[in-house]
Amino acid sequence: MSLTDSELHDLLKAAKAATPGPWTHHLWFVETAYDHVDWNQDGLPAKTRYNGEPLSIGTVKTNSEKRGWNAKFIAAADPNTVIVLIEEILASRLSLAKRE
């Protein structure tokens, strides 16, 4: 699979509009470093705030034993990381095009 430049630019735009990273995970919940999380007695997020405003935490909704790994992957692919990867791909493509 290969993404077109247009698809990469759309993804770049979405990454720049998302909550900035770094992101972390706790069990199967994805959090940002900017969150304040209040956990309830069951160890689940009761409420979160982003700069004082409510912010929902991303939750990996699956009964799979891999949901913790899925949350870890999602957290690793935070917007900052995606932006760097896309910019490197676009720069490499431009460099290759100039050589041809």
* CA–CA gap between residue 21 and residue 87 (Å, rounded): 17
Per-residue pLDDT of the chain (100 residues; tens, 9 = 90+): 899 999 999 999 998 888 777 777 777 677 665 545 555 566 555 555 555 554 544 666 666 777 778 888 888 888 889 999 999 999 999 999 999 8
* CA–CA gap between residue 69 and residue 32 (Å, rounded): 17
pLDDT score, position 41: 62
Q: What is the DSSP string of 51-87?
A: TTEE-PPEE----STTHHHHHHHHHHT-HHHHHHHHH
Give the largest Cα separation in the chain, rounded. Answer: 62
Residue written as token pair 């900035």: 20
